[in-house]
Amino acid sequence: PQSFKQPIATMEHSFIPRKCDATQRIIGPKDHASIQLAFAELNADGRMTGGKKVFNISGDVRRRGESDMSLNVLTSERGITAPFLLKLDETNRTA
């Protein structure tokens, strides 16, 4: 009589942690306000090449209203958009 050995059960994890690209902090599984944006890579003719660049933004960055500026900086650093420069308007400055 051969003994039948049961395979060892493996536990699959359904949560893969992501990092916020703006703050470099881990986005938790309960952060339902976080977003993930994928930008398609284009060739010189403007056609999609099949590649993409993905950005993760945490709900905390979005709540502070900094997601737009963060995405502008991140996309300019990775060469997707033109270099982003924060310009201050002289009329809005207080002395």
Question: Nearest CA to 52 among 44, 42, 63, 66?
Answer: 42
Distance of CA 66 to the CA centre of its chain: 13
Q: Is residue 88 predicted with pLDDT exceeding 60? A: no
Q: What tokens appear for 91 in the block? A: 């009329």
Q: pLDDT tens digits for 2-27?
A: 666 766 666 666 678 899 999 999 99
Give the per-residue pLDDT at 89. Answer: 56
pTM: 0.70
Q: What tokens appear for 64 in the block? A: 């502070």
Q: Domain range spanning residue 30?
A: 18-80
In the chain, the number of structural domains is 1
Would residue 85 count as lying in a domain? Answer: no
Would residue 69 count as lying in a domain? Answer: yes
Distance CA 10, CA 2 (A): 24
H or E segment and range at residue 72: helix 67-77
Would residue 22 count as lying in a domain? Answer: yes
Would residue 12 count as lying in a domain? Answer: no
Would residue 93 count as lying in a domain? Answer: no
What is the CB neighbour count within 10 angstroms for residue 67?
Answer: 20
Would residue 58 count as lying in a domain? Answer: yes
